[in-house]
Structure 1
Amino acid sequence: MQAAVLKAAALIDPEVQANFHIEYSIKHTTPLHRHDYYEVFIITAGKCIHHINGEAHYMEKGTMVFIRPDDTHWYDFYDDSDCQFINVNFYKEVIEDAFKYFANPVVAQKLKSVGMPPSIVLPSSDVETLVRKGELIHLYTTLEKKKAKILARSFLTDALTYYFFNDQNENDKLMPQWLDALLLELQKKENFTGGLERLYTLSDHSVGHMNRVFKQHLHTTPTAYINQLRLGYAKNLLLTTPLSILEVSYEAGFDNLSHFYHLFKKNYGASPGKIRRR
């Protein structure tokens, strides 16, 4: 079965940059599909099976899942049980800005890059808080979009906070101090624009060891991590400066414009020019 593709342009209000809805039954959900946006869903009643990226996961009340762009998934009944859940969808840019706010490169990278979308089981009080905010997003989307936009970011901040505080991955706990210090250094423009050569200069570890550590703790490669930092910087330049796209690509550390276009569109779901026009 080919996955349907759900588009942010068709589903998300551009002024709010998020939307909220309730699925009262699996019978009403979309079959196998993927999105070009982020989605947070929370099971509010019942239980079901969530088929995600080729695996099947049992879910019950309180389960919160972060669905990333291009995750492929669908919902199925668990025995004779049905379930109800809320969905809050966000533009890619909104999620990326939230990651910067938390300033936690390890957890942010984990949320984006692991094979299975991150999930946790929330206590009832936290579920009630998020459901109430979701309902207010829906209400103010029709009444006052600026308030809906603020509420959507408040929902996202709470959801990420719950996840950050409840993430108990042992690899993250055991992350070596030198890697933590290295990641902080890589946030500086002169370092991430310097690429792999600069990264290896900052660390006295071998290339092979660096690759293994990045894979273990960040679930990515040094190259992909640096490119992520460069792309975020490039996007900020596009939105805040009059620099041409060629100048932006060079300023962010890319020496190949075609490669920059490819990575940018893959990461943000739109070309540099389109992001700037938005």
Structure 2
Amino acid sequence: MEIPVLRAAALIDAQVQSNYHIVHSIQHAYPLHSHDFYELFLVTSGRCIHRINGEEQPLETGAMAFVRPGDTHGYDYWGHEDCQFMNVNYYPEIVENAFAYFGNPGFAQKLKEGRKSPVVRLVSSDLEALSHKGRQMHLYTTTDKPKARTAARSLLTEALANFYYDYRDESGRTLPEWLDPLLIEMQKKENFTAGLGRLNELADRSVSHLNRIFKQYLQTTPTAYINQLRLSYARNLLLTTRLSILEVSLEAGFDNLSHFYHLFKKCYGLSPGKIRSG
């Protein structure tokens, strides 16, 4: 089955860099799809099943989910029950800037990894506060776009803060002081394309110690972390340039095209060619 890919350029107001709408019933929700932008949705009443990358997430009133570019997802009824949810979409660069505001690469990485969407449960006061910001944003979109853009970013920051508090509570501790600067350095193209050797060089710690720390704090391995950075960069090149797939693979640091195809499809559910043609 061909999965449609929704594009920010076609769906999101370029001046606001975000959009908002209320889905009153599952029957009005978009069928299974993917997109090249970030999405937040909050279940404001009822219950539903969120289908994400082949997995199922039962969500009830107060649940807020974070959907990443490249995720394949849709919504379904929970038995005979229906739901209403608020949906807010963002240009990728807006969300990346918001991540930078929190100054914690480990947090950003945590939200981006895994097959299922990160989900937090909001108390009623937080749910109402975010719903109010969404309504403000919607109103300003038709009357004052700069105000709408500000409201959208305020909503995003507040929403991510809820995920951040949950992330800190889950870990029970902050990252080691040396790990944050290392992750920041590894997000530079010249470092993640250089690979594992560059990470080991910058960390100046034993391989076994690095493996243990990455598993403990990021729930991944150094190799998987680097591959995720490379794949994200490759996906952006596919969507924004005319480089061939081989050129994209090499630019992102992969020297084996078959391995690149395998990792890309495993990560995004589609081949590099399908991402570009979608």
Distance 1:73 1:257 in 2: 26
The residue identity in structure 2 corresponding to 1:260 is E
Where does residue 43 of structure 1 map in the other structure? 43
Structure 1 contact 192–198 (Cα < 8 Å) conserved: no
What SS does the aligned partner of 1:79 have? coil
Q: Partner amino acid for 2:155?
A: F
Aligned in 2, Cα 1:169/1:192: closer, same or farther, shift over 3 Å? farther
Q: What does residue 187 of structure 1 align with?
A: 184
Which residue is 1:246 aligned to? none
Secondary structure, counterpart of 1:167 in structure 2: helix
| 2:5 alignment counterpart | 5
Q: CA offsets, 1:87-108, max 9 Å, x none?
A: 0000001011111111011111
Partner of 2:138, secondary structure, is: helix
For 1:55 and 1:188, how far apart are their aligned partners in 2?
33
Q: Which position in structure 2 is the counterpart of 1:151?
A: 151
CA distance in structure 1 between the partners assigned to 2:226 and 2:57 by the alignment: 32
**What is the SS of the residue equivalent to 2:178?**
helix
Give the unaligned 5+ runs of structure 2: 237-246, 255-263, 265-278
Counterpart in 1 of 2:274? none
Q: CA deviation at 1:74?
A: 1.2
Q: Which residue of 1 aligns with 2:172?
A: 173
1:117 CA displacement: 1.4
Bigger Cα displacement from structure 2, 17-26 vs 3-12: 3-12
Q: Map Cα deviations across residues 237-273 of structure 1 (whole Å, 9 max, x no partner).
A: xxxxxxxxxxxxxxxxxxx98633689xx9xxxxxxx
Q: 1:11 to 1:169 in 2, by over 3 A?
A: same
**TM-score, normalised relative to structure 1:** 0.75
- SS class of match (1:187): helix
Residue in 2 that maps onto 1:119? 119
Determine helix, strand or coil for the equivalent of 1:84.
Answer: strand
Q: Distance in 2 between matches of 1:262 and 1:92?
A: 22
The number of equivalent residue pairs is 239
Residue 32 of structure 1 and its aligned partner are, at CA, apart by: 0.9
What CA distance in whole angstroms lies between the structure 2 residues aligned with 1:262 and 1:209? 24
Residue 220 of structure 1: how far off its partner (Å): 4.5
Aligned 8 A contact 2:3 2:34 in 1: yes
The question of whether the paired residues in 2 share the 8 Å contact of 1:192 and 1:226 is answered with no
Structure 1: state its 5+ residue gaps: 236-255, 267-278
Q: Does 1:28 align with 2:40?
A: no
Matches within 5 A, 1:1-278: 1-167=1-167, 170=170, 172-173=171-172, 177=176, 180-187=177-184, 193=190, 195=194, 196-211=196-211, 213-222=213-222, 225=225, 228=229, 259-260=250-251
Give, as a single letter, the amino acid of the residue that structure 2 aligns with 1:187: I
* Contact in 2 for aligned 1:43/1:86 (Cα 8 Å): yes
Partners in 2 of 1:18 and 1:126 — Cα distance?
21
| Cα offsets for 1:34-73 (capped at 9, x unmatched) | 1110000000001111111111121110000000011111
TM-score by length of 2: 0.75
Partners of 1:121 and 1:174 lie apart in 2 by: 21
Q: Partners in 2 of 1:166 and 1:182 — Cα distance?
A: 20
Of all paired residues, the percent bearing the same amino acid is 49
Q: CA deviation at 1:80?
A: 1.4
